[in-house]
């Protein structure tokens, strides 16, 4: 796996310095879109600050509007300035670092072009000649196969004289198993798998990458990571934001397609896959595909009992009073699209037989929290039978990705005093306590990896298809009128039916607000 661009260890002995990526032109289709402004540009800026881009690196932004290099640069700068803390943004340092930004700004170019017609591809051929190039498809998914087709027809994907030509494809990669298969087949009839980088930005998050290290480099955890010791696993990706201005997109996507076969299953795969033989990209991706492929297919009856679809109604969210989903712009008044999903899955393989996996994700929930909770089986209670101990909370390991990055272990300790009384205590490792954490969007590592040609953190065709295969029974059930929609007030932890999903098994979700107790200033136990 590649070195990351942004995290430097305090330990000199362990620190390794990543080399600048080779010279390359990055062509961004959809240069005026949100993804470019909000995520790609800040990530490239951070890479510029880390000196990980070659001096001959350049960007050609392609979009339909008429514009000049200057206008493009100015527009991007205005957006970057809005990310500084002074402007209540979340990515940048105190103020835009003009050395980092100046370096990048000088390398930004713009070409007007309609990527459904030939002209822009002819112009790009002229411009790129035999240079290394990465084509970044930051466009709506309906354009993916058309752009790949045009690139191919214009010979822009030919790799000549040792140069590389790579294509980065955003999610959503298809909208069902069938459509993902078709898209893969179309793309792979024009490109080698090695040229295709299907991106899932969750894999760029430092804590996600750390799951493999945690599991496979620690004698403390590795022997316990199986059905003999683990009772159940919960994966949560809760957001406080609603669908914002993405009503149109969300109406045809919903929480299931938006989050589950991609982000949530990537977390599931990292947590459950078998150890790969090495960090080799294909070794890692093979193990991930295998475990996702082993998810037991849900029957229509399972969809009714193991899946909860929810939709937010007006309520009080973190940002104040908010409207319900069906009142959002571009959303149908009678929409039954879900903004929340909870599901129970099992993995039919040797390691995980019998262990339930509970996944939930939602918009406008009470707290922002992305975490994986590993709950261990109880120790025998026999020793405590004649004491006042009536309850022994199970041990858990919480891998937290957001809002704090770290790992906590919860276990029982004896409360000081003459009577035997147990207390749930925890040990917390916060990244920020051990490492210098630089502002990051999650895209830095991924862009750098594309430039150096390391596909480990990108999805191969089979990873994508395994993900869709896992959720297809739910999509089918919903298409056939199943999958009742439950409402929940914005600003809560989701519909009551999601709690019932676990309580029927004698378990409960870790409360979302628990994640806020990680901050160093919190006094919570």
By CB under 6 A, name the binding residues for ligand BG6: 171, 239, 258, 370, 402, 442
Which of 61, 442 has the CB closer to ligand BG6?
442
Catalytic residue status for 201: no
Given 201, 263, 364, 410, the catalytic residue: 263
With contact defined as beta carbons under 8 Å apart, do 252 and 172 qualify? no
The DSSP secondary-structure symbol of 262 reads: I
d(CA 191, CA 284): 22
Considering the complex, state which of residue 154 and residue 402 has its C-beta at the smaller distance from ligand BG6: 402
Residues 6+ apart with CB under 8 A from 403: 368, 369, 515, 516, 518
Q: Which DSSP helix (H) or strand (E) runs through 430?
A: strand 422-430
The b/e string for 411-436 (b: 16+ C-beta within 10 A; e otherwise) is bbeeeeeeeeebeeebebebbeeebe
Q: Which is nearer to ligand BG6, 97 or 335 (CB)?
A: 335
Listed in sequence order, the residues at least 6 apart from 176 whose beta carbon sits closer than 8 Å to its beta carbon are: 468, 472, 475
Tell whether the torsion through CA atoms of 145, 151, 154 and 159 is positive or negative.
negative
Nearer to ligand BG6 among residue 157 and residue 240 (C-beta):
240
The CB-of-258 to ligand BG6 minimum distance in angstroms stands at: 5
Q: State which residue, 257 or 344, has the beta carbon closest to ligand BG6.
A: 257
**Least distance (Å) from ligand BG6 to the CB of residue 239?**
5
Q: Across-strand partners of 182?
A: none
What is the DSSP code string of 435-479? EEEPP--SHHHHHHHHHHT--TTSB-HHHHHHHHHHHHHHHHHHH
By beta-carbon proximity to ligand BG6, the closer residue of 202 and 352 is 202
Contact between residue 352 and residue 227 where contact means Cβ atoms under 8 Å apart? yes
Output 239 or 465, the one with its CB closest to ligand BG6.
239
Least distance to ligand BG6 from the beta carbon of 183, Å?
17
Taking the complex as a whole, the smallest distance from the CB of residue 202 to ligand BG6 amounts, in Å, to: 7
Encode 18-54: b = buried (16+ Cβ within 10 Å), e = exposed. bebbeebbbbbbbbbbebbbbbbbbbbbbbbbbebbe
Q: Which residues contact 123 (CB under 8 A, 6 or more apart)?
A: 111, 113
* Nearest distance in Å: CB 515, ligand BG6: 13
Nearer to ligand BG6, 63 or 258 (CB): 258
Rounded CA separation 245/477 (Å): 28
In the complex, minimum distance from the CB of residue 99 to ligand BG6, in angstroms, rounded to a whole number? 27
For the range 445-448, what are the long-range contacts, defined as Cβ-Cβ under 8 Å and sequence gap of 24 or more?
Answer: 445/2, 445/4, 445/5, 445/6, 445/204, 445/206, 445/209, 446/43, 446/199, 446/201, 446/203, 446/204, 447/26, 447/40, 447/43, 447/44, 447/47, 448/2, 448/4, 448/5, 448/18, 448/21, 448/47, 448/52
Residue 39 has φ and ψ, to the nearest 5°, of -125, -45
Look at strands 396-402 and 406-414 and give their pairing: antiparallel
Least spacing, CB of residue 486 vs ligand BG6, in Å: 20
The residue sitting closest to ligand BG6, measured at its beta carbon, is: 258
CB atoms under 10 Å from CB of 192, counted, come to 10
Tell the smallest beta-carbon distance from residue 370 to ligand BG6 (Å).
6
Residue 172 or 194 with smaller CB distance to ligand BG6 = 172
- CB of 335: closest distance to ligand BG6 in angstroms? 16
Catalytic residues: 263
């Amino acid at each position: 796996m590649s070195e990351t661009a942004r995290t430097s260890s305090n330990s000199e002995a362990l620190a390794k310095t990543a080399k600048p990526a080779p010279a390359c032109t990055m062509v961004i289709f959809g240069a005026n879109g949100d993804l470019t402004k909000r995520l790609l540009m800040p990530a490239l800026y951070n890479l510029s600050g880390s000196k990980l881009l070659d001096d001959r690196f350049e960007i050609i932004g392609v979009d339909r509007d008429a514009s000049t290099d200057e206008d493009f640069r100015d527009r991007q700068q205005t957006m970057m300035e809005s990310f500084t803390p002074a402007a209540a943004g979340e990515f940048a340092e105190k103020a835009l670092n003009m050395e980092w930004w100046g370096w990048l700004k000088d390398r930004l170019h713009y070409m007007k072009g309609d990527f459904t017609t030939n002209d822009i591809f002819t112009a790009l051929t002229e411009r790129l000649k035999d240079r290394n190039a990465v084509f970044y498809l930051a466009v709506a998914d309906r354009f993916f196969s058309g752009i790949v087709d045009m690139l191919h027809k214009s010979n822009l994907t030919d790799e000549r004289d040792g140069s590389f030509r790579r294509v980065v494809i955003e999610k959503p990669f298809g909208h069902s198993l069938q459509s993902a298969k078709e898209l893969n087949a179309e793309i792979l009839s024009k490109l080698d798998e090695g040229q295709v980088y299907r991106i899932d930005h969750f894999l760029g998050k430092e804590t996600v990458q750390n799951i493999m290290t945690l599991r496979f480099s620690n004698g403390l955890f590795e022997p316990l990571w199986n059905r003999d010791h683990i009772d159940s696993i919960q994966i949560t990706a809760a957001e406080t934001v609603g669908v914002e201005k993405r009503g149109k997109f969300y109406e045809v996507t919903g929480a299931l397609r938006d989050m589950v076969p991609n982000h949530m299953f990537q977390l599931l795969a990292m947590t459950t896959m078998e150890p790969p033989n090495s960090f080799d990209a294909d070794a890692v991706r093979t193990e991930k595909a295998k475990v996702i492929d082993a998810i037991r297919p849900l029957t229509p009856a399972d969809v009714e009992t193991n899946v909860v679809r929810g939709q937010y109604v007006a309520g009080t969210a973190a940002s104040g009073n908010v409207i319900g989903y069906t009142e959002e712009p571009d959303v149908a008044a009678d929409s039954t699209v879900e903004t929340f999903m909870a599901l129970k899955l099992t993995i039919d393989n040797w390691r995980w037989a019998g262990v339930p996996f509970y996944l939930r994700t939602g918009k406008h929930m009470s707290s922002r929290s992305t975490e994986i909770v590993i709950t261990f089986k109880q120790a025998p209670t026999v020793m405590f039978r004649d004491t006042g101990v009536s309850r022994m909370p199970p041990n858990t390991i919480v891998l937290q990705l957001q809002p704090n990055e770290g790992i906590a272990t919860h276990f029982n300790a004896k409360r000081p005093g003459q009577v035997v009384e147990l207390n749930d205590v925890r040990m917390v490792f916060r990244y920020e306590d051990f490492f210098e954490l630089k502002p990051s969007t999650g895209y830095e590592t991924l862009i750098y990896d594309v430039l150096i040609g390391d596909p480990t953190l990108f999805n191969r065709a089979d990873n994508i298809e395994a993900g869709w295969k896992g959720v297809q029974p739910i999509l089918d059930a919903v298409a056939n009128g199943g999958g009742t929609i439950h409402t929940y007030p914005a600003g809560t932890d989701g519909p009551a039916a999601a709690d019932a999903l676990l309580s029927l098994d004698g378990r409960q979700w870790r409360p979302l607000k628990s994640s806020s107790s990680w901050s160093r200033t919190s006094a919570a136990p």
